[in-house]
Amino acid sequence: MKYKPVSSQLINTVKQSNYVMKSILLLSVLFLVACSGKNPQAPPPAPPSLPVASVVSGTETTFQEYPASIEGTVNVEIRPQVTGTLDQVFVDEGALVNAGQPIFKINEQVYRAALNNAIAAQHAAEAAMVNAQLEVERLTPLVQNKVISEFQLKSAKATAQAAKANIEQAKASVSTASINLGYTLIKAPVSGYIGRLQKKRGSLVGPADVEALTQLSDVHDVHVYFALGEKDFVNFKDQYPGQTLNDKLKKLPAVTLLLADGTAYAKTGKIDVIDGQFDKNTGSITVRASFPNPQGLIRSGNTGKIRLSLQHENALVIPQSATMEVQDKIFVFAVADSNKVKRQAISILGKKGTDYLVKDGVKAGDQIVLSGLDHLQEGTVITPQKATDKVAVVKK
């Protein structure tokens, strides 16, 4: 028996049939799996582990800084009292002078001549007084003997009184001329430091000049002026004992002066004066603190800052890193039941270093999240991790 060879066309037909059967079978399996509705799911992620800490209360001290201006206890403008040419300048700018020390000399020739003229007028008046008195003495016995009338004697006595008045007037002129002559030598009225010299030798000076010759500042002690707003002023005075403002001033703690470079002045000061009223334009009141300045390191016109200490009872301290700011409001994430976090708005009382002093929004005993706030949302469940440090420490 002979077999006929199988054609290639038949072989291809069989292969195609097998492929179709396998595709149908695969589609059937996928359909059954899809209809079953049992898809494999990934396990839920574990709650994030974040550090938390309890809020506790305590007494805290914060420091408030206010811009301040500095003046010497005495600031004097040195101005000429008479007009003339400036002959001599005895001091240099910035020099330390003592009270009564000469600092300027105005040409005195005109005033010396005026004094001599006044003295001469006084001598003439005195001579006229002598003549008038002699005339009275001559006429007195003649009137007694009724040689002449009494009218002549009275006239002579009136002339003597006028001569006496002329002497007094001449003495006043001499005194005025002497004072003007003395004004040509300008002396330091107080001890202190000379400011900038506005006029040089040879300048014409006078009382009507717009600019003073110089300024003299007594800076053995300095006054530092700063301003408190109404709210700061109320908080400032309410925390110290005393019935009156003067009683409170006596019990105020020492204050610190921060110089322009940020360093603290070595000497502490004392607040001694509070202005009598608020400025209507600024809504602030001026306060003065006095500082000793024995070495003259501070000069009038310096600027700086006054640092005041404020005590807060039962204050809550929260790290700034544990807060977030949204639309000008500050929030913390407090840990609620079932370790769910709740975003809580807080009110800030002040700052202390890198911490906030909280007025309200949280209370002692609340637990807050310390870090990782950017990835938290309202109601997120976390795994609390106790921090090594508490948020606030009670200070005794």
**Global pTM?**
0.61
- 324: confidence class by pLDDT, cuts 50, 70, 90: confident
Domains with residue ranges and CATH for the chain = 51-60+313-386 (2.40.420.20), 64-72+219-311 (2.40.30.170), 75-205 (2.40.50.100)
Closest CA to 222 of 292, 324, 325: 292
% of the chain with per-residue pLDDT over 70: 86
Q: What is the pLDDT of residues 67-95, one digit of tens each?
A: 999 998 888 999 999 999 999 999 999 89
CA-based angle 284:286:290, to the nearest 5? Answer: 150
- Angstrom CA distances, 35 to 24, 27, 184, stand at 16, 12, 118
pLDDT tens, position by position, 2-31: 444 545 554 455 455 555 455 555 555 455
Total length of the chain = 396
In order, the DSSP letters of 4-19 are: PPPPHHHHHHHHHHHH
DSSP 223-286: EEEEEEEHHHHHHHHHTS--SSHHHHHHHPPPBEEE-TTSPBPSS-BEEEEE-SS--TTT-EEE
Does residue 176 register a pLDDT over 80? yes
What pLDDT, on a 0 to 100 scale, did the predictor assign at position 81? 94
- Confidence check: pLDDT of 215 > 70: yes
pLDDT band at 100 (very low <50, low <70, confident <90, very high): very high
pLDDT of the residue at 27: 56
Rounded Cα gap, residues 373 and 371, in angstroms? 6
Residue 387 has pLDDT above 70, yes or no: no
C-alpha distances (whole Å) from 345 to each of 128, 174, 333, 355, 359 are 98, 83, 9, 16, 11
Q: Where are the beta strands (DSSP E) in 277-336?
A: 284-292, 303-319, 324-326, 329-335
